[in-house]
Amino acid sequence: MLSSRKTLGAFFLIFALSFVGTALAQEKLTVEWIYSDAYAEIAAMPQVQWLENGNLLLLDNRVPKAERTLEMLQAGKWKRAPWVKREMALNSLQALLPADADSVKSLGWPAAISPNGENLAYLFEKDIYLLNAKTSLFSRLTKSEGEEKSLNFSPDGKKLAYVRDNDLYVYHLINSSEARLTKTGGETLLNGTLSWVYWEEIFGRRDIGYWWSGNSRQIAFLRSDESAVSKMFFVNQRPDIPELITQRYPKAGTENPTVHVGVVNASGEGEATWLELGDYEYIARVKWLPGDQKVGVQVLNRPQTELTLFLADPRTGKSEKIMTESDTAWVNINDDLYFLDNGKDFLWQSERSGFAHLYRFNMNGQLRNQITNGEWALRSSGGAYWLRQSVMAIDQKKEQVYFTGMKESSVQRHLYRVDFNGGNLTKISKEKGVHSIQFSPDARYYVDSYS
């Protein structure tokens, strides 16, 4: 584990040192340089994503745009190699784009990546184009008047979900067919995509409006009715002629969107099943359990003093209340809810002690044990400051959790490991600072970016 960490750390340290050299070499600051690619590349770091086989897909943003290409870093050997043939891919794409489209001169980071990294989805001219990494050839998936967004591959990599005109669709790669999963989308009714207040306040400026089941057969999604939400008007000053923007924006004390959780078949067949969750104001989080027989849903009341976890049956919509977190001030939303494969336990972050710590519960919501404790808190090391996801990986065979926290200092974030029973707490990261961690799926390796 440590040797793997050092190898990756040295790899990314090379990038960091080269950025410093570039900055020092630039002695004279000019307006042109400040707005140039060279300026943007000073603090740039590679974009990376672990694949299901343990290899690392990366895009080196330090390289000039015209020379960038997707690369693969092989796990264990740590050898970089091009993942696609850049010129072949760009020529293939240009032949598919509309005649009046701007020329694409570089490959950026994909909008969605299949679990094995072989299919890479991009958005160009408001449509979806699929790059096959094996052939380095693009194909065009959609040709519609509407704009696609919020792309996500299914866990088996055979389907691609997306939102168009506030409805949810799935493209089946095997037979090149599109299935429309919802049909009610409109100006004030959103399926699979978030209203402004959910995007901003609940999901941390991430458009997370649907979730694939583990078997790739179903999707749980949010349906938001904004018809009662007040409108706000803003002016976009960037164009030569300013534009008026209208946005549904709930001011304090006014109506929020009405949001429900539905489950649909990825085939497009049948009707949605709506989950019965009692009275609530906000849907805070949605998550499939292992085996796909249940969906975990967290809901909040309007004062945000009670956060309740339900387990719902995706076939009938019936749900069972498992537990409620409450506080006289407010309850923070977090992403640290993990249902274990044994079907008997789940891990959950709570601030019930006054500090954010990790706990283990049985499936009835009864506490088994507190995993971390003390006058310090778990804390995520990246993303929006109001988001909380501290668990970086779980090794279920060894019954160990890797997490980031502030045990050493409130201005530092370090990586730790602890047993499920709360024993053997070990600090893994060495260097002082804030460590941002990305683990491989099997928890054997991780990327550590720190400052």
The string of pLDDT tens digits covering residues 130-152 is: 999 999 999 999 999 999 999 99
34 alpha carbon, distance to own chain's centre: 31
Do 340 and 324 have their domain in common?
A: no
**What residues contact 193, with CB distance under 8 A and at least 6 apart?**
149, 150, 163, 166, 207, 209
CATH number, domain containing residue 371:
2.120.10.30
The string of pLDDT tens digits covering residues 374-403 is: 999 999 987 777 778 999 999 999 999 999
Residue ending a domain, choose from 308, 333, 358: 333
The string of pLDDT tens digits covering residues 285-335 is: 999 999 999 999 999 999 999 999 999 999 999 999 999 999 999 999 999
Buried b (16+ CB within 10 A) or exposed e, 185-215: beeebbbbbbbebbbeebbbeeebbbbbbee
Q: What is the pTM of this model?
A: 0.93
Question: How far is 249 from 256, CA to CA, in rounded Å?
Answer: 9
List, in sequence order, the alpha helices (H) in 97-126: none
The string of pLDDT tens digits covering residues 331-355 is: 999 999 999 999 999 999 999 999 9
List, in sequence order, the alpha helices (H) in 106-238: 196-197
In a domain, 50, yes or no: no
Residue ending a domain, choose from 312, 333, 354: 333
The residue-averaged pLDDT of 272-278 equals 99
Concatenated DSSP letters of 55-101: -EEEE-TTS-GGG--EEEE-TTT--EEESS-HHHHHHHHHHHS-TTS
Give SS3 for 19: helix
Concatenated DSSP letters of 356-380: -EEEEEETTS-EEEESS-SSS-B--
Averaged pLDDT of the chain: 93
Q: Inform me whether the pLDDT recorded for 207 exceeds 90.
A: yes
pLDDT for the residue 66: 87
The answer to whether residues 399 and 419 touch, using CB atoms and an 8 Å cutoff, is yes
The string of pLDDT tens digits covering residues 5-30 is: 444 544 444 344 344 444 445 567 88
pLDDT for the residue 17: 35
Do 208 and 319 have their domain in common?
A: yes
Question: How far is 181 from 146, CA to CA, in rounded Å?
Answer: 16
Residue ending a domain, choose from 295, 316, 333: 333
The string of pLDDT tens digits covering residues 239-255 is: 999 999 999 999 999 99
C-alpha torsion angle, residues 378, 381, 383, 387 (rounded to 10) = 10
Sheet holding 70-73, edge to edge: 47-50, 56-59, 70-73, 80-82
Span between the terminal Cα atoms of the chain, in Å: 21
Q: Choose the weakest-confidence range: 37-41, 190-194, 225-229, 423-427.
A: 37-41
Concatenated DSSP letters of 304-362: S-EEEEEEE-TTT--EEEEEEEE-SS-----S-EEE-TTSSEEEEEE-TTSS-EEEEEE
In a domain, 39, yes or no: yes
Question: How far is 204 from 334, CA to CA, in rounded Å?
Answer: 11
Question: How far is 250 from 199, CA to CA, in rounded Å?
Answer: 13
Do 267 and 365 have their domain in common?
A: no
The string of pLDDT tens digits covering residues 101-126 is: 999 999 999 999 999 999 999 999 99
Do 293 and 400 have their domain in common?
A: no
In a domain, 208, yes or no: yes
pLDDT for the residue 8: 52
Higher-confidence residue: 123 or 75? 123
C-alpha torsion angle, residues 306, 312, 318, 324 (rounded to 10) = -20
Side-chain half-sphere exposure of 84, counting CA atoms within 13 A: 31
Amino acid at 37: D
Residue 191 tokens, joined: 């399926």
Buried b (16+ CB within 10 A) or exposed e, 304-331: bebbbbbbbbbeebebeebbebeeeeeb
Q: Choose the weakest-confidence range: 28-32, 80-84, 381-385, 436-440.
A: 381-385
What is the percentage of the chain residues whose pLDDT exceeds 90?
Answer: 86
Residue 68 tokens, joined: 């960038």
Give the pLDDT band of residue 204 (cuts 50, 70, 90). Answer: very high
Concatenated DSSP letters of 241-307: S-EEEEEE---TTSPPPEEEEEEEETT--SPPEEP---S-SEEEEEEEPTTSS-EEEEEE-TTS-EE
The residue-averaged pLDDT of 251-269 equals 98
In a domain, 106, yes or no: no
Do 315 and 353 have their domain in common?
A: no
pLDDT for the residue 4: 47
Question: How far is 81 from 316, CA to CA, in rounded Å?
Answer: 49
In a domain, 108, yes or no: no
- Count of positions (residues) in the chain: 451
In a domain, 355, yes or no: yes
Number of H helices, E strands in the chain: 5, 33
CATH number, domain containing residue 301:
2.140.10.30
Q: What angle do CA 177, 107, 53 make, to 5 degrees?
A: 70
Do 263 and 229 have their domain in common?
A: yes
Q: Give the range of the structural domain holding residue 273, as residue numbers without chain letter.
A: 187-333
Amino acid at 218: Q
pLDDT for the residue 15: 40
Do 191 and 329 have their domain in common?
A: yes
Rg (CA), the chain: 23
The residue-averaged pLDDT of 224-250 equals 96
In a domain, 80, yes or no: no
pLDDT for the residue 48: 97
pLDDT for the residue 382: 78
Do 194 and 279 have their domain in common?
A: yes
Do 283 and 358 have their domain in common?
A: no
pLDDT for the residue 201: 94
CB atoms within 10 A of CB 144: 13
Number of domains in the chain: 3
Question: How far is 292 from 214, CA to CA, in rounded Å?
Answer: 6
Do 402 and 286 have their domain in common?
A: no
Do 351 and 398 have their domain in common?
A: yes
pLDDT for the residue 25: 52
In a domain, 113, yes or no: no
Do 314 and 386 have their domain in common?
A: no
Tell me which residue of 17, 23, 126, 113 sits closest to 72, measured CA to CA.
Answer: 113
Specify the pairing of strand 189-191 against strand 177-180. unpaired
